[in-house]
Amino acid sequence: MFNAGPPKEEEPSRILPKPPKIKAQLDEHIIGQERVKKTLSVAIYNHYKRIFIHKDHGDLELKKGNLLLIGPTGTGKTLFAETLARIAGVPLSISDATTLTQSGYVGEDVENVVLRLLQAADGDIEQCERGIVYIDEIDKVGRKNESPSLTRDVSGEGVQQALLKIVEGSIVNVPPKGGRKHPHEKLIPINTENILFICGGAFEGIEDIIARRLEKKSIGFGGIQQEKGFQNTRVLPEDLLKFGMIPEFLGRFPIISILNPLVASDLVRILKEPKHAIIKQYEKLFEL
Interhelix angle 220-227/206-217, nearest 10 degrees: 160
* 217 occurs within a structural domain: no
- Average pLDDT of span 119-136: 95
Could you give the percent of the chain with pLDDT greater than 90? 47
Q: What is the pLDDT of residue 286?
A: 85
Residue 202's CB: how many other CB atoms inside 10 A?
19
Percent of the chain with pLDDT strictly greater than 70: 77
Q: Is the pTM of this model over 0.85?
A: no
| C-beta atoms surrounding 165 within 10 Å | 14
Domain containing residue 248:
12-208+236-287
Name the pairing type of β-strands 100-101 and 108-109: parallel
> Could you tell me which residues are beta bridge partners of residue 196?
132
For the segment 219-244, the average pLDDT, to the nearest whole number, is 64
Mean pLDDT for 131-157 is 76
Kindly list the strands in the beta sheet with 255-258, ordered across the sheet, starting from the edge strand earlier in the chain.
92-96, 132-136, 196-201, 67-70, 255-258
Rounded mean pLDDT, 255-279:
85
User: Which residues contact residue 283 at a Cβ distance below 8 angstroms, ignoring those fewer than 6 apart?
Assistant: none
Q: Cα(22)–Cα(42) distance, rounded to whole angstroms?
A: 8
Is 241 contained in some domain? yes
**CA triple 223-227-228, angle to 5 deg:** 120
SS3 content of the chain, % helix, strand, coil (to 5): 45, 15, 40
Residue 100, in any domain of the structure: yes
Q: Are 49 and 119 in contact (CB under 8 A)?
A: no
Total domain count for the chain? 1
Q: What is the pLDDT of residue 284?
A: 81
Q: What average pLDDT does the segment 250-279 reach?
A: 87
pLDDT tens-digit readout, 55-85: 655 566 677 899 999 999 988 999 999 999 9
Q: Alpha helix (H) ranges present in 57-133?
A: 77-88, 112-120, 125-128
Per-residue pLDDT band for 277 (boundaries 50, 70, 90) equals: confident
Contact by Cβ (8 Å): 101, 109: yes
More confident residue, 158 or 171: 171
Handedness of CA 123, 78, 213, 236 (dihedral sign): positive
Q: What is the pLDDT of residue 224?
A: 39
Residue 146 has pLDDT above 80, yes or no: no
In a domain, 26, yes or no: yes
53 in a structural domain: yes
**What is the tens place of the pLDDT at every residue in 166-208?**
999 999 998 877 666 666 678 899 999 999 999 999 999 898 9
What are 177's strand-pairing partners? none
Q: Write down the pLDDT at residue 1.
A: 46
Which pLDDT does position 182 carry in this prediction?
A: 64
Taken in order 265, 270, 275, 281, is the CA torsion positive or negative?
Answer: negative
Highest mean pLDDT among 16-20, 107-111, 251-255: 251-255
Q: Is residue 231 part of a domain?
A: no
**Residue 108 belongs to a domain with what CATH number?**
3.40.50.300
Phi (first) and psi of residue 277, to 5 degrees:
-60, 150
- At residue 258, the pLDDT reads 93
- Whole-number mean pLDDT of the chain? 82
| Cα–Cα distance, 217 to 227 (Å, whole number) | 10
Does position 116 have pLDDT exceeding 50, yes or no?
A: yes
In this prediction, residue 54 carries a pLDDT of 63
